[in-house]
Structure 1
Amino acid sequence: MSLNVIVVGAGISGLCTAVALCQAGHSVKVFEKSGFTGEVGSAVLITPNAERVLSRLGFDFSLARADVVAYFEVFDGSTLESLNSHDLLDPREEFGAPLYTVHRVDLLNGLLRLASGLDLRLGTKVAKADAEKGFVVLEDGSRHYAHLIVAGDGVHSILRAEVLHDQDQAQASHSGLSTFRFMIPTEAIQNDPQFQTLLRIRGEGCCLFADTTRESEHHMVWFTCREKSVQVFVGVHDSVAASPGELKDLMMAEFSHYHPSLIHMFNLATVVTDWRLDIHDPLPTWHRGKIVLIGDSAHPMLPLGAQGANQAIEDAGALGALLSNCKSAAQIPSILDCYERVRRLRASRVQMLSKVRLGRERDVEADLRKYADPPGSGKLTLCIR
């Protein structure tokens, strides 16, 4: 049976789910509040768990100009001393896929190329929804009905409250952290001596410059995208209120004690943005009636483990697979139960792990055990390399 599906939000989770459901033979309509004008966001890391889903959907990493990440190394931001490193070519052998970095815009465009038959409505905001009757109400007051409504409307999801039946419980909270983000075209700095010096240190990998003077999360991550034509920087810091015109000065002050070569690189930024990091504790359920949550609507997390986009893609893969053999709308409740059993506890553990940097997994071990699988077993294996 071909289901009528409404997807709310055309971010990574929404578009990936829409593609998976279109390929499963369903009729999919996507409502996206933005107009998709201009480039939005930075680059994301695609790990093997998500790469396998994207590849099965037919995503072309070459066309998306993705970069393969060979290793991850942590340096002291003040001295450039190497603190630890991790070979990331191992996952190619272990999981059959490498790690990639890809610009968010290229990822979304690549998904759109796969979305044959998709009805995408840009500039269309969903104001509310009814889980039992299966409809959404747009900002213009019109109602749209579907067999299934997929909520991919992000960390501040409107539809989350409809699923939980509790507006207060549905609200995300501020983590206290934000991220500075900026990108520099490689061609603009390729002859810069200090860039060349840092490039020899970084090599072909992704690196993190840690602030070893603080206990709180405070670091700058550096990697590339678009076939190494763009240098990407993401700096995690304690949130401070600032206007857009103040962000670069604020960033320079936050990292003023870093190595002079890094300070030189940071100062080359022409446009600096700041992204507030909001989070939510794992939810007790991901679906009610005809609404199901995916991506940041279901499991908002911090970027310390680089799994936000990857878990969203896993959601899409699971939901697409489970709905591929749906014979009637009457099967939807049992399919959504199965989706939640497959995904919720796993994603909840990843949420917990997103609060700590690599190597500090033991700090959240007690919380992780709350989401052991099977439930209540307390069984948990931490693979710390």
Structure 2
Amino acid sequence: MHAQKGEQAKVPLNAIVVGGGIGGIATALSLGRRGHNVVILESAPKLMEVGAGIQVSPNMGRLLDRWGVAYREKATLLQQIDIRRWQDGSLLACIPCNPAHGDQLTIHRADLHNALIEKALSLPNVQLLVNSHVVDVNFDKTEVILADGRVISGDVVLAADGIKSNIRPKILNDNTIKVQPTGDAAYRITLSREEMLAHPVLRDMIDQSRATRWIGPGCHIVAYPLRNHELFNVVLVHPDRGTVDDMWTIKGSKKDMIDEYAGWDERVTQIIANVQDDAVMEWKLNLYPPLRTWTKGSIALLGDACHPMLPYVAQGAAQAVEDAGALGAILSSISSKLDIPAALQAYQSSRKERAEQVQQSGKLNRIALHLPDGPEQLQRDEMFRLAMQGNSESPDRWIDEKTRKILWEHDAEEAALKTFQEYQNKHSRVANL
């Protein structure tokens, strides 16, 4: 009999989670609630999640709800998504959020992070160590070595150490990852409720429960309310002019942003005009290739460490939380610590192809959104109209009903258990031959 989605671990493990971001804390919670002992190692002196808004799509919300994470009080429920033309803001498509898939919410990244931390650290078997920077791993002994010389050993090491993972090159035996620039960079800005209300053209937008996507030549913008309509979150994707390197986010220039979106819908130019000069952040959007493997022995990668997502389909945090759910389900189903490497292989089988498909759909989505004005763009805009009548796939994967079904109706815990069951059946057949 395999474990139910919330069942306690048959063999409680000592798990080391490297990284205290959303993926790491979600993994600690997923394991901790099933009875494993978890230590989270965070390199920073205190846990901080920066950034701005993210979307809680139903595939992520389903797991958070099941795990009892109190995130909803800080989230904003979206009722529809508008797609608008860059120049005059005319409506190309207006897609209601179909509650059949589950709720689609937006949340400030820090609010989600805090809700996860609160829930995970309320468990007596989950502890957090800050100032704990992992520099090396020992695969034979399943232990991590910290910058200050401490060595911490466990039964399993789960690396949620992000896009600049220290553990990834050790698993792959390779320090080089051939990153492919998408050609885009993105500005991230947040406006306060007061700033939005001060302008007649923006006033409506702060109180509406909708996300807006403007699309134009080489650029697109996504905007939605956060924190119960107290904040307005805007991400502006534009051609990378070589101003940003691969490092995290850097301060962007308001002047460049004004120039980039000159001639756009008045709502866009007003949003930009209202940004404080020093409140513009910019980051380069790179596509990361699929990895050969996510696991080695009793050590595995998750989240951005193995599948960094582009923001074009709003699935970055969701896919990391799915990884966490899959790990919790599979590692709670094993009947001996000797099965950990096999369980991690099953985790990879259950997650790798899906996460990589989501990565790729982001790349494809960019092309459709950024068409220059002309015959192809007119054809695309007609497809939006037909999609609203149910007669075509939407050119924007984020609102395409078929893509939503694949993304949003997925239950990562259920899928993981099914994969693990198949894995065990196959191996017991081989053993009996």
The TM-score bracket by the shorter chain reads 0.7 to 0.9
Q: Which residue of 1 aligns with 2:419?
A: none
Give me the CA root mean square deviation: 2.4
Tell me how far 1:308 sits from its aligned partner: 1.0
Q: Which residue of 2 aligns with 1:364?
A: none
Q: Does 1:187 align with 2:194?
A: yes
* CA distances 1:308-358 after superposition (whole Å, capped 9, x unpaired): 111111111111111223333111112112111111111111111011328
Q: Does 1:70 align with 2:76?
A: no
Tell me how far 1:242 sits from its aligned partner: 4.4
Give the AA of the match of 1:383.
Answer: K
**Is the CA contact (8 Å cut-off) linking 2:21 and 2:49 kept in structure 1?**
no
**Is the CA contact (8 Å cut-off) linking 1:210 and 1:220 kept in structure 2?**
yes
**Is the CA contact (8 Å cut-off) linking 2:12 and 2:332 kept in structure 1?**
no
Q: Which residue of 1 aligns with 2:240?
A: 239
Q: Which residue of 2 aligns with 1:220?
A: 221
Q: Which residue of 1 aligns with 2:254?
A: 248
**Is the CA contact (8 Å cut-off) linking 2:71 and 2:111 kept in structure 1?**
no
* CA distances 1:247-294 after superposition (whole Å, capped 9, x unpaired): 211111111221233212211112111122233111222111121111
1:96-107 aligned within 5 A: 97-107=102-112
**Is the CA contact (8 Å cut-off) linking 1:222 and 1:234 kept in structure 2?**
yes
1:1-385 aligned within 5 A: 1-36=11-46, 40-63=50-73, 65-88=74-97, 90=98, 92-93=99-100, 95=101, 97-115=102-120, 116-117=123-124, 118-168=126-176, 170=177, 172-196=179-203, 203-211=208-216, 214=217, 216=218, 218-242=219-243, 247-270=253-276, 271-357=279-365, 360=368, 383=402
**Is the CA contact (8 Å cut-off) linking 2:88 and 2:265 kept in structure 1?**
yes
**Is the CA contact (8 Å cut-off) linking 2:30 and 2:325 kept in structure 1?**
yes
After superposing the two structures, state which structure 1 stretch, 248-257 or 18-27, moved more: 248-257
**Is the CA contact (8 Å cut-off) linking 1:155 and 1:278 kept in structure 2?**
no
Give the Cα–Cα distance (whole angstroms) in 1 for the partners of residues 403 and 225 of structure 2: 26
Q: Given the superposition, is the C-alpha separation of residues 125 and 172 from structure 1 closer, same or farther in structure 2, using an over 3 Å criterion? A: farther
Give the Cα–Cα distance (whole angstroms) in 2 for the partners of residues 152 and 257 of structure 1: 42
Unaligned runs of 5+ in 1: 362-381
**Is the CA contact (8 Å cut-off) linking 2:303 and 2:320 kept in structure 1?**
yes
Instruction: Mark the structure with the bigger radius of gyration.
Output: 2
Give the AA of the match of 1:84.
Answer: A
Tell me how far 1:39 sits from its aligned partner: 5.8
Q: Secondary structure at the match of 1:383?
A: helix
Give the AA of the match of 1:192.
Answer: H
Give the Cα–Cα distance (whole angstroms) in 1 for the partners of residues 49 and 150 of structure 2: 30
Q: Given the superposition, is the C-alpha separation of residues 58 and 338 from structure 1 closer, same or farther in structure 2, using an over 3 Å criterion? A: same
For normalisation by structure 1, the TM-score amounts to 0.86
Give the Cα–Cα distance (whole angstroms) in 1 for the partners of residues 231 and 222 of structure 2: 14
**Is the CA contact (8 Å cut-off) linking 1:178 and 1:237 kept in structure 2?**
yes
Q: Secondary structure at the match of 2:64?
A: helix
Give the Cα–Cα distance (whole angstroms) in 1 for the partners of residues 251 and 56 of structure 2: 32
Q: Given the superposition, is the C-alpha separation of residues 133 and 384 from structure 1 closer, same or farther in structure 2, using an over 3 Å criterion? A: closer
* CA distances 1:67-88 after superposition (whole Å, capped 9, x unpaired): 0111111111211111123221
**Is the CA contact (8 Å cut-off) linking 2:17 and 2:159 kept in structure 1?**
yes
**Is the CA contact (8 Å cut-off) linking 1:304 and 1:357 kept in structure 2?**
yes
Q: Given the superposition, is the C-alpha separation of residues 384 and 112 from structure 1 closer, same or farther in structure 2, using an over 3 Å criterion? A: closer
Q: Secondary structure at the match of 2:27?
A: helix
Give the Cα–Cα distance (whole angstroms) in 1 for the partners of residues 81 and 313 of structure 2: 12
For normalisation by structure 2, the TM-score amounts to 0.77
Unaligned runs of 5+ in 2: 1-10, 245-249, 370-400, 405-433
**Is the CA contact (8 Å cut-off) linking 2:206 and 2:231 kept in structure 1?**
no
Tell me how far 1:41 sits from its aligned partner: 0.7
Q: Secondary structure at the match of 2:72?
A: coil
* CA distances 1:112-147 after superposition (whole Å, capped 9, x unpaired): 111123211223211122233311111112221111
Give the Cα–Cα distance (whole angstroms) in 2 for the partners of residues 12 and 48 of structure 1: 16
Q: Which runs of 4+ in 1 moved over 6 A?
A: none
**Is the CA contact (8 Å cut-off) linking 2:76 and 2:209 kept in structure 1?**
no
Q: How many residues align?
A: 355
**Is the CA contact (8 Å cut-off) linking 2:185 and 2:240 kept in structure 1?**
yes
Give the AA of the match of 1:19.
Answer: L
Q: Given the superposition, is the C-alpha separation of residues 69 and 35 from structure 1 closer, same or farther in structure 2, using an over 3 Å criterion? A: farther
Give the Cα–Cα distance (whole angstroms) in 2 for the partners of residues 147 and 335 of structure 1: 12
Q: Given the superposition, is the C-alpha separation of residues 384 and 23 from structure 1 closer, same or farther in structure 2, using an over 3 Å criterion? A: closer
After superposing the two structures, state which structure 1 stretch, 258-267 or 288-297, moved more: 258-267
